[in-house]
């Protein structure tokens, strides 16, 4: 940290801060990331990298590293609901091991199982591969000041106690749920601060599969006569397991003895295991009322907190930083318009509201036996009607849980409706989907995937600047758009594509795709006033002052 000035100062080196630093570095933007920890992950939280996030990893060239990061990719990914591992199995959703899962037709990638203790090091290497990024561990943000023309941050080296001042054009708080940045900005979180108290225990047990008669699985949900009370996750697909003891709205501190007894109850017989860590935490459904004040932004858990049910937390945070990164780069490089940064909150906040709500609904479904009338005979091996009751209950539970397991629409179908830098084309907004996804190149949507050559996706065309796709044998002329973009130094590449599938998918002869891979505009011909188009998508035109209502966002999604 020899430089005291940087373009973007990032606070927090969890997956979101690292991804932002990596993406900015990939764009050649000078930035500094400070993290108060030493870079090691104590207890991994996230373990599922969603399909859109994997598309970003593809863009960054780190897919191979994610795949080889350490998770046992031959381990089956089934989810099953049982009384205990040695008791009854109510039902199961079967998923192949990662090594056998194929990408869906809508993407060149598939989701990946890669817990945070494996993913963070991949991101750290990605960050370190950029010479424009400085990464400082053991460095704590004390306070900051948003001044005219820049931000001044006071930071402390935790190892030496030395304090210093860092200056930046922009500051982004990726400092997690208890975000000091958000607190100093005075931004309120809206929603439900306590869904459940839960205790996560990582334990080691070689060959846990040999202790029971159930087929192996990534996740087991334990249902007792009191309802759903715990889950078990194969955290590395080998010898480490994450047991989550789901509490209620009351805070309780569990002793190691209680934790051990619960794990043995779940397995259904005594066995030897080593507890590696115990982490009590609170499940929340919260979204920040704002994502920005002046030159300071928040992203990831600093901006939204969600129940892990569905695996949306980090994946939503990655959307935040991919959305924000190119906009910050545009400002630093000088081609971003004066209103470009306003679009970050307008685009990403509604996505978070939707995703945290979906996660809470998943939690509600998973816990629903608590409130549903459980038939006590299901747990009684002597009762003659027990088997039929279990089958009936199991089928219902299996059906109900599908929405959590199949959520491609949440990962790919988000849309920046109402964004000031997206030019809508008059087509109606398609309904939001959860378990299905209908690709569309309607402005505001993720530009869809189609194969355009051996192993090459349309998605591989997007990333660094704007791309104008021209379709058909005689595509419409577009040089005046290129000239208009060049006149304000907005990077724009023109790429011609032909092919029945891709032309049908994009549905217009001209489609303008942003650096984050979202469609900004489409039509069959350029508008007469191309300068206004360029100025709109680069945020140079003041948007209508919106009566921005958080409640309206919540009501809409
Ligand atoms: C049990 C569980 C399972 C989950 N599973 C999934 C999943 O499968 N998929 C998914 O997408 N999400 C999942 N999540 C959510 C996911 O883990 C989080 O959304 C994600 O970790 C958020 O990343 P972040 O970088 O925003 O915050 P964090 O990971 O909390 O990182 C914030 C960082 O900021 C640092 N920091 C804080 N204050 C300062 C300061 N003053 N100065 C310097 N540094 C500071 C902290 O040390 C920390 O390293 C899960 C969460 C839990 C609890």
3-state secondary structure of 146: strand
Is 175's C-beta closer than 6 angstroms to any atom of ligand 1? Answer: yes
Q: Which atom from ligand 1 is nearest to the alpha carbon of 281?
A: 53
In this structure, what is the dihedral angle of CA atoms 468, 469, 471, 475, given to the nearest 10 degrees? 30
Q: How far is the CA of 301 from the centre of ligand 1 (A)?
A: 6
Q: Which atom from ligand 1 is nearest to the alpha carbon of 312?
A: 11
By the 8 A CB rule, do 365 and 417 touch?
A: no
Is 13's C-beta closer than 6 angstroms to any atom of ligand 1? Answer: yes
Mutate to test the pocket of ligand 1, among 308, 310, 362 (most ligand atoms within 8 A of CB): 308
- pLDDT reported for residue 370: 72
The structure tokens listed for 518 are: 């979202």
Mutate to test the pocket of ligand 1, among 175, 178, 246, 316 (most ligand atoms within 8 A of CB): 175
Is 313's C-beta closer than 6 angstroms to any atom of ligand 1? Answer: yes
Q: What pTM was estimated for this model as a whole?
A: 0.96
Which residues have CB under 8 Å from 372's CB, separation 6+?
227
Size (the chain), residues: 557
- Cα–Cα distance, 348 to 1 (Å, whole number): 31
- pLDDT reported for residue 552: 61
Mutate to test the pocket of ligand 1, among 14, 32, 34, 44 (most ligand atoms within 8 A of CB): 14
Nearest CA to ligand 1 atom 17: 46
Residue 50's nearest CA partner among 416, 384, 316 is 316
H or E element at residue 119: helix 116-128
Q: How far is the CA of 170 from the centre of ligand 1 (A)?
A: 21
Max alpha carbon distance in the chain (Å)? 81
The structure tokens listed for 256 are: 């190691």
Is 51's C-beta closer than 6 angstroms to any atom of ligand 1? Answer: no
The structure tokens listed for 540 are: 């140079």
The structure tokens listed for 243 are: 């047991």
By the 8 A CB rule, do 208 and 241 touch?
A: yes
Is 298's C-beta closer than 6 angstroms to any atom of ligand 1? Answer: no
Which residues have CB under 8 Å from 366's CB, separation 6+?
221, 228, 309, 401, 404
- Cα–Cα distance, 499 to 517 (Å, whole number): 20
Q: How far is the CA of 175 from the centre of ligand 1 (A)?
A: 8
Is 54's C-beta closer than 6 angstroms to any atom of ligand 1? Answer: no
Q: How far is the CA of 307 from the centre of ligand 1 (A)?
A: 12
**Please, which contacts does 391-396 make with residues 24 or more away whose CB atoms are closer than 8 Å?**
393/90, 394/81, 394/89, 394/90, 394/91, 395/91
Q: How far is the CA of 336 from the centre of ligand 1 (A)?
A: 30
- pLDDT reported for residue 308: 96
From first to last of its 557 residues, what are the pLDDT tens digits of the chain? Answer: 445 899 999 999 999 999 999 999 999 999 999 999 999 998 899 999 999 999 999 999 999 999 999 999 999 999 999 999 999 999 999 999 999 999 999 999 999 999 999 999 999 999 999 999 999 999 999 999 999 899 999 999 999 999 999 999 999 999 999 999 999 999 999 999 999 999 999 999 999 999 999 999 999 999 998 899 999 999 999 999 999 999 888 888 899 999 999 999 999 999 999 999 999 999 999 999 999 999 999 999 999 999 999 999 999 999 999 999 999 999 999 999 999 999 999 999 999 999 999 999 999 999 987 766 677 778 877 777 888 889 999 999 999 999 999 999 999 999 999 999 999 999 999 999 999 999 999 999 999 999 999 999 999 999 999 999 999 999 999 999 999 999 999 999 999 999 999 999 999 999 999 999 999 999 999 999 999 999 999 999 997 655 445 566 655 55
């Amino acid at each position: 940290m020899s430089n005291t000035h940087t373009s973007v100062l990032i606070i927090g080196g969890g997956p979101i801060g690292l991804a932002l630093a990596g993406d900015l570095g990939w764009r050649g933007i000078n930035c500094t990331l400070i993290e108060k920890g030493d870079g090691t992950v104590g207890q991994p939280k996230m373990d599922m990298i969603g399909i859109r996030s994997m598309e970003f990893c593809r863009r960054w060239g780190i897919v191979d590293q994610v795949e080889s990061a350490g998770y046992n990719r031959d381990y089956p990914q089934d989810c099953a609901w049982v009384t205990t591992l040695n008791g009854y199995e109510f039902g199961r959703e079967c998923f192949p091991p990662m090594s056998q899962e194929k990408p869906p037709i809508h993407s060149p990638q598939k989701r990946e199982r890669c817990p945070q203790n494996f993913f963070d090091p991949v991101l750290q290497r990605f960050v370190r591969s950029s010479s424009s990024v400085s990464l400082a561990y053991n460095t704590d943000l004390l306070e900051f000041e948003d001044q005219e023309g820049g931000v001044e941050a006071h930071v402390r080296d935790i190892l030496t106690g030395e304090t210093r001042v860092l200056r930046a054009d922009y500051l982004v708080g990726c400092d997690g749920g208890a975000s000091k940045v958000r607190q100093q900005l005075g931004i309120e979180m809206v929603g439900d601060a306590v869904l459940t108290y839960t205790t996560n225990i990582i334990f080691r047990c070689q060959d846990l599969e040999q202790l029971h008669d159930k087929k192996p699985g990534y996740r087991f949900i334990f249902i007792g006569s009191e309802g759903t009370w715990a889950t078990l996750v194969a955290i590395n697909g080998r010898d480490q397991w994450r047991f989550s003891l789901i509490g209620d709205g009351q805070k309780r501190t569990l002793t190691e003895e209680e934790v051990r007894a619960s794990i043995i109850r779940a397995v259904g017989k005594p066995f030897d295991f080593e507890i590696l860590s115990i982490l009590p935490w609170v499940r929340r459904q919260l979204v920040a009322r704002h994502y920005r004040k002046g030159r300071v932004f928040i992203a990831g858990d600093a901006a939204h907190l969600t129940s892990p049910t569905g695996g949306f937390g980090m994946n939503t945070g990655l959307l935040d930083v991919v959305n924000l990164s190119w906009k910050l780069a545009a400002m630093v490089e000088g081609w971003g318009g004066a209103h470009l940064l306003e679009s970050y909150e307008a685009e990403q906040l509604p996505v978070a509201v939707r995703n945290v709500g979906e996660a809470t609904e998943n939690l509600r479904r998973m816990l629903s036996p608590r409130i549903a009338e459980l038939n006590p005979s299901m747990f009684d091996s002597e009762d003659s009607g027990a088997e039929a009751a279990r089958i009936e209950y199991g089928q219902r539970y299996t059906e109900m849980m599908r929405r959590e397991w199949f959520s491609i629409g949440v990962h790919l179908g988000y849309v920046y409706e109402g964004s000031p830098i997206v030019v809508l084309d008059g087509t109606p907004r398609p309904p939001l989907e959860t378990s299905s996804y209908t690709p569309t190149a309607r402005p505001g949507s993720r530009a869809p995937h189609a194969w355009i050559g051996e192993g090459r996706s349309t998605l591989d065309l997007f990333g660094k600047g704007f791309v104008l796709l021209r379709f058909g044998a005689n595509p419409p002329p577009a040089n005046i758009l290129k000239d208009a973009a060049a006149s304000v130094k907005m990077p724009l590449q023109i790429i011609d594509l032909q092919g029945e599938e891709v032309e049908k998918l994009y549905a217009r002869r001209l489609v303008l795709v942003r650096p984050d891979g979202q469609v900004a505009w489409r039509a069959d011909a350029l508008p007469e006033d191309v300068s206004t188009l360029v100025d709109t998508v680069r945020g140079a035109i003041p948007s209508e002052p919106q009566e921005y209502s958080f409640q309206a966002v919540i009501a809409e999604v």
